[in-house]
Amino acid sequence: MKKVELLNKYLSNLAVLLIKLHNLHWNVVGQQFMSIHNFTESQYDTYFVYYDDVAEALKMQGQRPLVKMKDYLAVASIQEAEDKDFSPCEVLSIIKADMEEMNQLAREIRAIASEEDDFAVANMMEDHISATVKQLWFIDSMTKVDCKL
């Protein structure tokens, strides 16, 4: 895939994640409700910034970012979550899998951007990778005792 296609896939994943994280945020239940509720809020706040940054990166390259939900859903590799109650362990498992997917995609984009000397996109992806690795560590620490991920 070309960098622009990968950036639009990344943007699409971010759009789906924004909705999905709100679903998890609203529908988590159990003793850890408050901590998971706050964690998911911090994640969708972060992803909203990424969403805007990626769209602007596409615009700066003379491209048109995808803007329709039907297009996002057609391109995204991240899947929506059902409308149901989620245990804290379910939420963290879902988020971990999605973060791993996003991290892999960010690495692909960074590699292509680096080859093309597109330092703005390469650096943006490097920042996303670094932040995601830290969040994955948080999830691993949160689930070490109570969840079997």
Res 147 pLDDT > 90: no
Separation of alpha carbons 85 and 149, rounded Å: 19
Q: pTM for the full model?
A: 0.95
- Could you please report the per-residue DSSP string of 110-141? HHHHHHTT-HHHHHHHHHHHHHHHHHHHHHHH
- Cβ contacts of 138 within 8 Å, gap of 6 or more: 39
Quote the pLDDT of residue 145. Answer: 83
The continuous run of DSSP H or E covering 11 comes out as helix 3-27
Res 7 pLDDT > 70: yes
Question: How do residues 10-50 score in pLDDT, each as one tens digit?
Answer: 999 999 999 999 999 999 999 999 999 999 999 999 999 99
Quote the pLDDT of residue 61. Answer: 94
Which of 78, 86, 69, 141 lies closest to 104 in space, CA to CA? 78
Question: How do residues 80-96 score in pLDDT, each as one tens digit?
Answer: 999 999 999 999 999 99
The continuous run of DSSP H or E covering 43 comes out as helix 33-60
Separation of alpha carbons 37 and 10, rounded Å: 24
Domains in the chain, start-ordered, CATH in brackets? 1-143 (1.20.1260.10)
Res 109 pLDDT > 90: yes
Write out the two tokens for 55: 């769209």
